[in-house]
Amino acid sequence: MSSASLEQVLAATGYLPDGQPAPGLRLGPDALALRRGRSFSPDAVWRSPSALSVYFKFEQTRPPDASVSVWRREIWNEGFAPLLWVISPEWIDLYNGFGAPISENDAQAHLIQTFENVEGALEKLDRLAGRLSIETGQFWLKTGTVDRRTTVDQKLLSDLHYLERDLIGDHLEREAAQALIGRAIFTQYLIDRDIVSAARLRKLCGHTTLPLILRDGDATKQLFSWLAQTFNGDMFPASSIARTPRASHLARVADFLEAVDPQTGQRSFFPYQFDVIPVEVISSIYEQFARAAPPTVTRSVTSADRDGVHYTRVSLVSLVLDEVMQGLEGTESVLDLTCGSGVFLVEALRRLVLLRAGGKPPSRDLIRSTLYQQIYGVDLSEAAIRVAAFSLYLAALELDPDPQPPHALRFRPLIGNTLLVGDAHTIDQTGDGPAAIATPQGPKKFDVIVGNPPWSFKGKRGTAERRSNRDADTPLQPRGEGLDFLFRAIEFSHEHTRFGMVLSALPFF
C-alpha cells in the first residue's frame, strides 16, 4: 500500500511519468543516500540540477505534528528543500521547507495546503507543486509563503551579523570577534556530530554543554587550548588564541547558542543543527562578516563591496560542479584563484573523495590525501583563507565514516601550503606561492579551475590600474575584472583543464 500510494502521487504530479523516475528523482535507498540528517528518512527525493530538493514521506496514518516538526526542522537546516510532502492513503500535506523553525511543535505554522488523495485533488496538487510547476518557476509565483529569505543560510547570516555587531560594540576587536564566533560554531559542530561527547566535555572542562563552558572563563580557556592542540591551528589567528575573551564576550556567544534575545533576555527556540547544516553554508559566515559594516559606521560601501566579495549560493556551486566535474576519476587537482571562504573547494573535495572511494566508505587516509594534495585556493583576505581552512576541515570530518577519537584528528596546516593569501595575479611569484603553485617552468598546471571572481567595477582609476598591469596581448574587459581572472587562470591550465567560473554575461555581448 505504501509503494502503490506513493507511486500514484508521484505519477500524477510528473515526478514518475510512465512509471519511470523523472530526471533527479531518487527512490528508497537512493533517496536515503542523499540525506545527512539525524532521524528523517524520506521515501523519495527529487533534486534539480541546482540542488533544489523536494522530499516525499509516506505514512500509513497521518503522522503527529511532533514528528513532522522534527522532520521539517532537519530539512530546513539542510537548506535545499522548499517542500516536504507528507503522504498518507487519504491525505497529502505540503509543508514549507524554507520556513525558519519557531518551536518544537510548529508543523501547522508551516503547513502550506492539504489535498485529498483522490484524482481531482491530485490535479490541483500538480498545478501547484508538480514537477512542471517547480521546474518552470510557476510554483514560486503561486506560493508566497515559501520565501528564500527565511532559509537557513539567510537566518544564520543575519543572526551572526547581530552577534558580531554586539561583540564589537562591547570593545572586542573584529578579528577576535570573528575568531570567537568561528570557534564556537566549530565546537558546536563537533558536539552535534558526537565527535566530542558530553562525557569528554565534563572531563575536560567540568561542564557538559558549550554554553555552560562559555559562562566559565577557566573552562573556556581549557576547551580552547585543547581544541588548538587537537585540531591544529589554521582556523584562528594566533593572537586570538593567546588570550581568552572576557566574560561578557563569552556570555554573549553563550546567549546566541541558547537563543537568548539580547534585548529582552528571553529565551526562545534555537533552530540550528550544525551537524545537518551543509559545511558550505557554515563557511559562508565569512561573506556575512565581510559585508557587515562596523556598528558605528553607516553601511554605504564596505571593503567587501569594493573588492567584489559576495556570497556564492550552494545551489550555484552545485550547478557549476555538476558540469565541470562530470566524468572525472577523482585524482584531479582543483584550483580556485578567488576562493573566498572556500565554498567551491569544499564541494570539490567532497566530490573528489567520493569518486576516489568508488562507492565504498572512504578511509581517513584517502580523505586527507585528497585534502592535502588536490585542493588549492588563493584569496587576498587572510580572514577568508582562515575560514576556507575551517570549512575544509569540517568537510573532512563530515566525510570521515568514523571521526574518532578526537586526538587522532589533528590536521596538517593548509595555509601556506595549499591555501595561499595573496593577489591571484602575482601569487606564484610572492610569499608562499612559489613553493606551492609554481615550478621552474612557470605556474603549476591544474586539472580543474573553478570560482566566482569579483564582478566589481572600480571606476576610471581601477581601469587605468588594470591597463597598466596587463599584458599587451591580453584583451581588457570594459567594466569589471572578472575576465582578468579567467585569463590569469589560463596560465595555470594545461591542454585538458576544465574551467567552471561564474562570470558576468555583459562582456560576452
Residue-level pLDDT, tens digit, the chain, 509 residues: 356 789 999 999 999 998 899 999 999 888 887 776 778 999 999 998 777 899 999 999 999 999 999 999 999 999 889 999 999 999 999 999 999 999 999 999 999 999 999 988 999 999 999 999 999 989 998 888 898 889 998 888 888 888 988 999 999 988 788 888 888 988 898 899 888 889 999 999 999 999 999 999 999 999 988 887 777 667 665 655 566 789 999 999 999 999 998 778 888 899 999 888 888 777 766 656 555 555 444 444 444 444 444 567 777 888 899 999 999 999 999 999 999 889 999 999 999 999 999 989 999 999 999 999 999 999 998 878 888 888 898 899 889 888 877 667 788 899 999 999 999 999 999 999 999 999 999 999 999 999 998 865 555 555 565 556 566 665 665 556 778 888 999 999 999 999 999 988 777 77
* Confidence at residue 299, expressed as pLDDT on a 0 to 100 scale: 42
Instruction: Report how far residue 54's alpha carbon sits from residue 57's, in angstroms, rounded to the nearest whole number.
Output: 10
| Residue 412, number of CB atoms within 10 A of its CB | 11
- Tell me phi and psi for residue 262, to 5 degrees: -65, -20
The pairing of strands 334-336 and 419-421 is: unpaired
Interior angle at CA 504, CA 308 and CA 473, nearest 5 = 95
Interior angle at CA 189, CA 248 and CA 354, nearest 5 = 155
Instruction: Report how far residue 251's alpha carbon sits from residue 245's, in angstroms, rounded to the nearest whole number.
Output: 10
Helix (H) or strand (E) holding 495: strand 493-501
C-alpha closest to that of 129 among 109, 116, 152, 112:
112
Instruction: Report how far residue 127's alpha carbon sits from residue 332's, in angstroms, rounded to the nearest whole number.
Output: 44
C-alpha closest to that of 77 among 277, 315, 284, 283:
277
Helix, strand and coil in the chain, % to nearest 5: 50, 10, 40
The model's pTM is 0.81
Strand order, beta sheet including 375-379: 419-421, 375-379, 334-336, 446-451, 493-501
User: Would you say 14 and 131 are in contact if contact means Cβ atoms under 8 Å apart?
Assistant: yes
DSSP 8-state code for residue 106 = -
Integer CA distances (angstroms), 132 to 7, 16, 42, 147, 209, in order: 17, 12, 21, 19, 46
Instruction: Report how far residue 281's alpha carbon sits from residue 153's, in angstroms, rounded to the nearest whole number.
Output: 6
Three-state DSSP at 445 gives coil
Instruction: Report how far residue 323's alpha carbon sits from residue 316's, in angstroms, rounded to the nearest whole number.
Output: 11
The pairing of strands 375-379 and 419-421 is: parallel
